[in-house]
Amino acid sequence: MAADPVSSATQQRADELKGEANKYFGQAQYAQAIAVYSDAIELSPSAVLYSNRAFAHLRTEAFGLAIEDARKALALDPRYVKAYYRLGSAYVALNKYRHALKVFKQLAKLAPKDRDVRTKLTLCEKEVKRAAFEAAIAVEAPKPLSETLDLDSMTIPDNYEGPRLGDGDEVTADFISGMLDWMRDEKLLPKRIVASVLVQLKRILASLPSLVDVDIPEDEQTYMSVLGDTHGQFYDLLNIFKINDRPSPTRPYLWNGDLCDRGSWSFETTFTAFAYKVLYPQSVFINRGNHETQNMNKMYGFEGEVMKKYDANIMALFTECFRTLPYAHVIEKKVLVVHGGLFKDDGVKLDDIRKIPRGGEPPESGIGSDILWSDPQPFNGRGPSKRGVGLSFGPDITERFLKDNNLDLVIRSHEVREEGFLEEHDGKLITVFSAPNYCDQMGNKGALIRFRKNNMKPDPVTFEAVPHPDLKPMAYASNLGMFGL
């Protein structure tokens, strides 16, 4: 159905708003771009405006909204090529390759000579075939690499002058101290050392439940620090250690997921947390985030980075560790820490979280998906997720969950906050995000949340971004070639 005609003055104003929104987009101010595109759409809806807004939604990982806008664009102009790109890209981001394949097949009919379209179509075909092959051989899956890798056959180069593990490949405080200095100078650890640490970590994680209970030591000088997303911003992580001290039995840390992707030192950021977990298994804790998943690692840079710096075996070990990370921690029986948020259904108990299966990729639905992907909303009830997976949940949902489980607070991450943290849902939920000036573009502060045993009152600490070497975010990302248009 064609849109009602608009006056020339209205169309002129819509075009002005489009130009303004495009400028915001070019400055990576995606929220402002979305708002202004929306104003333009109110005046004069068009395929271009919906497609542009879909692109902005893609950049904020609001994949569900991107799909919705791309479909609206195609309803107005079924031959609008960029809308097909947006739609296919969103499906790829959600690991829905069969849907993406249909989109790119349609696009190939519109642009049969476009080499980029053919490349994307081929990529989707390969992913669909790969998924079918993996499903077919699932019953005959080989043993994990962590159980079969011959570490003794791996050698450290004679000219290596960096930090070394202790006797028996023990991770020591001296090793980590030297490792941080070594990696700060953009030097690589030998593959033998990396593999040994990851194998040790996998064994530690495999012994844990999907929800881990954490007690803070009685010492009045001890506090637990909860970090939100760090997303490969290694130099900001080093600054956190400078501000807050390094992890230790008197400075326990809980990383709340999304250690990797986007930032171009994702190996260093993730391996630092993992090495500390091996050194202090009773004082360092790590939740799985939605970016500790295979599909996100393919798209947002971690796999490309590890393959550039190491090889497929090291990436396979990281994937094993990601698949074995817990989904939640409860601090002092009062504070639940999860990456994304709460659940589609009422009545979820902590024991249900403890029983979430691990060892593979998260399911597309259910509490194992909700806990990684959901976001809070300011009004009561539940709503569809802007991301196309998980849900939006209101203050009443948070209050009910806390009451049902005798908890006081939910800490979650998963979203940028201007000050690095934000109290929401009447103070019963806090979002914490620890990657300042996210992707070198957002201008936000980072934050962490401290807790002491004696009162368990959340104590936020904020910080600004620090300089890093001249390497842009997403330097290793492939995005399957999808998001550049």
Q: Identify the residue whose tokens are 């979305």.
A: 34
Determine the Cα–Cα distance for residues 302 and 309; give it in Å rounded to an integer.
Answer: 11
Domain spans, the chain: 8-136, 146-480
pLDDT score of 477: 87
The architecture of the domain spanning 146-480 is: 4-Layer Sandwich (3.60)
Neighbours of 424 (CB within 10 A): 18
Model confidence over 154-200: pLDDT tens digits? Answer: 999 999 999 999 999 999 999 999 999 999 999 999 999 999 999 99
Radius of gyration of the chain (CA): 23
429-432 β-sheet, strand order? 211-214, 328-331, 335-338, 409-412, 429-432, 421-424
pLDDT score of 141: 64
**Contact partners, residue 338, CB within 8 Å, separation at least 6:** 256, 287, 327, 328, 371, 410, 411, 412
Determine the Cα–Cα distance for residues 75 and 70; give it in Å rounded to an integer.
Answer: 9
What's this model's pTM, rounded to 2 decimal places? 0.92
In the chain, count H helices and then E strands.
18, 14
**CATH number corresponding to 8-136:** 1.25.40.10
- CA of residue 401 relative to chain centroid, distance: 24
The residue ranges of the chain whose pLDDT is under 70 are 1-4, 137-141, 479-485
Taking a C-beta distance cutoff of 8 angstroms, is the pair 346, 396 a contact? Answer: no
Neighbours of 352 (CB within 10 A): 15
**Contact partners, residue 115, CB within 8 Å, separation at least 6:** none
Model confidence over 195-213: pLDDT tens digits? Answer: 999 999 999 999 999 999 9
Determine the Cα–Cα distance for residues 193 and 164; give it in Å rounded to an integer.
Answer: 7
Q: Which among 348, 368, 371 has a CA at the least distance from the CA of 360?
A: 368
Quick check: helix, strand or coil at residue 338? strand
Burial label, 38 (beta-carbon count in 10 A; 0-12, 13-18, 19+): middle
Burial 356-395 (b: 16+ CB within 10 A, else e): bebeeebeeeebbbbbbbbbbbeeeebeebbbbbbbbbbb
Burial label, 171 (beta-carbon count in 10 A; 0-12, 13-18, 19+): buried
Strand partners, 287: 256
Active site residues: 291
